[in-house]
A = this chain, B = another copy of it.
């Protein structure tokens, strides 16, 4: 199901809010409470949650455990998605350190880098290989997600290598607009672009 992007951007807020509320010992949560908690119109919350297979009850609202579970399922956080990471520099290394990604369904099975001195090392139990071994490991593992944290000058060529070997989705942390076939999903997470947005709105 194709869910509107603004809705997909809000659902994680509801999940975070529901998880926090649960941690405080609450058992149920109404869409009005969620709306107040995250600062979004109650009608928007109700509409967003209508995409998620969860039903609330009048006056009681949603049962929190069920709401959290349904949101996690819907957002894809409760299924493990295997990924490879390309470019074990500062950012790539930090993502491998961050065990937090696994809680959100992303399991980085291996990292690749062109620096020979990194081959055979590991970060937080994730092995690092030379990029020349990607093809061989991909033939064994059929990973669908590539996390792209390479330097800008090799972003496009690395993206092409990934696509050539069957990667279906690229999580692009570089500021480069990579060009790939239409059937490949690209998720851009350029923190520098976000900085520019923030500076501009600070006026």
Which A positions have Cβ atoms within 8 angstroms of B? 2-3, 5, 8-13, 15-17, 19-20, 23, 37-40, 75-77, 81, 90-91, 93-94, 97-101, 104-106, 144-145, 152-153, 168-169, 171, 174-177, 179, 185, 187, 189-202
- What is the total number of copies of this protein in its complex? 2
**Docked-complex contact A177 and B90, CB < 8 angstroms:** no
Residues of B within 8 A of A174 (CB): 16
- A69 CB, min distance to chain B CBs, angstroms: 15
Please determine whether A13 and B175 come into contact, CB atoms closer than 8 angstroms: yes
- B residues within 8 A CB of A37? 177
Top 4 nearest A-B pairs (CB, nearest first) are A94-B94, A76-B199, A187-B198, A13-B177
